[in-house]
Chains A and B, each alone.
Chain A
Amino acid sequence: MSAENPTILPGSDANGSISRVNGGAKAESSNLGTFGVKSGLAQMLKGGVIMDVVNAEQARIAEEAGACAVMALERIPADVRRDGGVARMSDPKMIQEIMEAVTIPVMAKVRIGHIVEAQILQAIGVDYIDESEVLTPADNAHHINKHNFKVPFVCGCKNLGEALRRISEGAAMIRTKGEAGTGNVVEAVHHQRTVQSEIKRVSTMSDEELYAYAKEIQAPFHLLKETARLKRLPVVNFAAGGVATPADAALMMQLGSDGVFVGSGIFKGENHAKRARAIVEAVAHFNDPKTLAAVSTDLGEAMVGITISDNMKGGRMADKGW
């Protein structure tokens, strides 16, 4: 835990940078959609579980289980892998049905770099946008300039450099990528361990070393320096990609995650409601093995996990993102 609360990053309010490309999405009023309220919502989600849901019924199960938000999408990552083809933003109708069904925040995914999908999701009023490697990228060089939106964005990362590049583009929340749709937590652990160990390294660096390291990991210097000062990412950092059991979720919390995304793990396993609730309790009490034992008991079959390799169906989603 850092010694002080992260402060609002300089030059990153909604009006800080206005590009012609998507100026149509610029904030109308200076006090709306500031970086403070964007990153602040992520702070409100901490210690919670964000669950992938494909319809209003699943969203209600998630809400009753204690999810702090839901991710509305047409196909969960495991099905994206199975079906192949191009995975895109979900139909706004389905997202709106979920928004009407629950009172917790509703997130939805856009393809990497797809500015217009993001404008559409902002127009229908989703609470958070995930610019996600789980969908097929729309731009193989650029991510969305997220400062131009009032709605906040979460983005995936595999390491500190990628996290800070996304924050520099305006992401108000980060999640480590893991490997979505596998039910295999190994990559989520790898990415979280990587980010945490890089933060530990930079926290003892001099400015000279930080300048050099910023170049090496292709991160903006001012964000790297802020990370070193805070001894954590300047925004909230959740874990994602392969969490299937309460124990997986608690593991990610013990490794320093602020909260957990669970994608395919709940609705691909048995006993959805019970498993969802168990994961919520595991995150809230991640340091209490007795509670973890109790909530892990008698949940039925977890989703069938797959071994992660370059030639698995759907490939390595985590490699998407630049």
Chain B
Amino acid sequence: MNNSEKLTKVFADTFGISEAETKGLQYQGIEQWDSVGHMTLVAAIEDEFDIQLDTDDIIDMSSFEKAQQILSKYHIAF
């Protein structure tokens, strides 16, 4: 699985949605992505990619695409 597939799967598993639905997904765009869902997502991403996200990155991660951008700062290529 490449990194893009991994991230898609983390989003889909965390929010219980299909992988197609992850594209363009935004914070509070679905009921599951509330503040609780956000922290679950952050923990899942950290586990999957074995990184620790900075506070600024956690509060900036407002969409699926933004998550990709942020992860590239941690040397995770997409």
Q: Does A pair with B?
A: no
Interface residues of B (CB under 8 A from A): none
